[in-house]
Amino acid sequence: MEEKNSNMETAITEEITYLVYQLQESEYEKARHYAVLSLGEAQTEAAIPHLLRTLHSDTNGTVRAMSANVLGNKGDKRAIPALFQAFMCDSEVAVQVNAVQALAKLGAVETLPFLFDKLRQAPVPGLLAVLPALIGYMGASALPYLLQTLRTDELEEFRSCSATTLGTIRDTAALPDLLHSFRYDSALRVRVASVRALGKLNDTSILQELRDTLETAPDPFLRAGIFYSLGTLGDTSVISEMQRTLQEEQHPLLRYEATQALQILVPPECLPIAP
């Protein structure tokens, strides 16, 4: 048995050596990309330093981005400083996105203020839109910072992003702050993001307030968000209002959310045919 284990360790070492050689010496991007993926699958900590070096110094952005992704999947918190540096300093958007996702998977909540500050100073195209899904990996540990941002940030883009992320995390501890933003935030997009997040918390105590707001809200985007949450929460009392919307309203998002909600609330054979 000892001889068998020794042979396996030798084989793993030889494989790592070969993959590291490919990373350092191959002029072909695909070969280095394959080496990164294979090192990610290797069940040994010996791969970590080589992945970190690739993240820092490979000339190809795709290879660096894949290194960030693999490091996040490895779950080794020693990679956090290098991933943070990659987000802050790398010129490739793909590397920055993968670095944020990896930091989230590693639970690096301490980096959130710096990530948001960098995005305020130098927005990364498209990153703010996917940030809720990326930060969502952090779970409840991210709540304190997200709640503070939702309450106090001057920029509506970041309040909206925080609301959406809180919906992704689905922790009911966020309910009071999301309700407050839904009721009082000065920016429509934040109110919309907040009401959609509320629907994901699976707390039916908010149903009556959503129904009341639906009756008085003139904005179609806000009403569409309320439709989304009422459907998600299974509120059959508003079926007739959703059916009326499909018959009378022309706003595409409002009609879409009414249709989606009805598909949840009504048996398929009973669904109305929209004109």
- Domain count within the chain: 3
Which CATH number do you get for residue 94?
Answer: 1.25.10.10
Name the residue range of residue 25's domain.
9-105
32-83 pLDDT, tens per residue? 988 888 888 887 788 899 899 999 999 999 999 999 999 999 999 999 999 9
Q: Which of 56, 73, 105 is the last residue of a domain?
A: 105
Same domain, 113 and 85: no
How far apart CA 112 and CA 48 sit, in angstroms, is 23
Same domain, 168 and 211: no
Q: Which of 148, 176, 202 is the last residue of a domain?
A: 202
Same domain, 97 and 141: no
216 lies in some domain: yes
Same domain, 130 and 168: yes
Q: Which of 138, 170, 202 is the last residue of a domain?
A: 202
Q: Whose structure tokens read 């919309």?
A: 192
229-270 pLDDT, tens per residue? 999 999 999 999 999 999 998 999 999 999 999 999 887 655
183-236 pLDDT, tens per residue? 999 999 999 999 999 999 999 999 999 999 998 988 999 999 999 999 999 999
Output the pTM of the full model.
0.85
